[in-house]
Amino acid sequence: MAIEVRIPTILRTYTDGAKQVEGAGSTLDELISDLEHRHVGLRARLIDGGSLRRFVNVYLNDEDVRFLDGLETPVKDGDTVTVLPAVAGGAV
Amino acid sequence: MLTLTRELHDKIVQHARQDHPDEACGVLAGPAGTDRPRRFIPMTNAARSPTFYEFDSAEQFQVWKQMDDQDEEPVVIYHSHTATEAYPSRTDIGLAGEPSAHYVLVSTRDENETEFRSYRIVDGEVTEEPVTVLE
């Protein structure tokens, strides 16, 4: 089962510079755990305290998984998961 | 060094003035690898706040996908400060996630003069850079 995962520039240190990697799993959580085996440290950049980090956007195909089932979102062969750092900031 | 046209510079300033007192935000896209901004893309500030900005995540996805399809990258990521100086805050620095982008800060704290400054933010380090506006 191959799910394509698109990695933003700042996380490519975990993928030896690759902008795209492949993984397996039946939920997003499983997929991320699978990726962690080959890209150690990546999981901690995406997940904190058991949920997806506030300023990391993860999309299944073209939907933000926050509007699906978060880490429990089902994924399957042929899906594309895209990770983008949120663009945000403030006055302080 | 950030080089951009007068037209793009003025569009950013106008956007910031329009949204004041909320922070305005957006992107200037340019052909990948050229470091030249060409396309003005104002973004919705999903936070709609005078002290915080955040791109709407669905909008960000569409814009990033379009840039990728057109072989562009986000050359400039801009936002405004409405009561403080045009300098990256601790939050701005902590959340800067595009190491190749020029981070433009505009301040609309003075109703007559708009401050427009540019920075590189890489690994938590801020470096101000000169801005060249092409007439």
Domains and CATH numbers, chain B: 2-134 (3.40.140.10)
- Which pLDDT score, from 0 to 100, does residue A1 have? 58
DSSP secondary structure letter of residue A11: G
Q: Do residues A88 and B54 lie in contact, with contact meaning Cβ atoms separated by under 8 Å?
A: yes
Residue A87 C-alpha, separation from nearest chain B C-alpha, in angstroms: 6
CB contact under 8 Å between A57 and B99, yes or no, is no
- CA dist B89 and B128 (Å) reads 13
- CA dist B53 and B42 (Å) reads 13
Domain A3-85: CATH superfamily is: Beta-grasp domain (3.10.20.30)
Q: Which residues of chain A have pLDDT under 50?
A: none
Averaged pLDDT for residues B31-44? 98
Residue B89 C-alpha, separation from nearest chain A C-alpha, in angstroms: 5
Q: Is the pLDDT of residue B18 over 80?
A: yes
What percent of chain B is predicted at pLDDT more than 70?
100
- pLDDT grade, residue B41 (50/70/90)? very high
DSSP secondary structure letter of residue A27: B
Find chain A residues with C-beta within 8 A of B95's C-beta: 55, 85-89
Averaged pLDDT for residues B54-76? 97
pLDDT in tens, B56-66: 999 999 999 99
Residue of A nearest to B97 (CA): A85
Give the three-class secondary structure for A77: coil
- Which pLDDT score, from 0 to 100, does residue B99 have? 95
Which are the contacts of A25, defined by CB distance < 8 A and separation ≥ 6?
A1, A3, A31, A32, A33, A34, A75
Whether A16 and chain B come into contact, CB under 8 Å, resolves to: no
> ipTM of this predicted complex?
0.95
Q: Do residues A26 and A32 lie in contact, with contact meaning Cβ atoms separated by under 8 Å?
A: no
Find chain A residues with C-beta within 8 A of B97's C-beta: 8, 10, 55, 85-87
- Which pLDDT score, from 0 to 100, does residue B8 have? 98
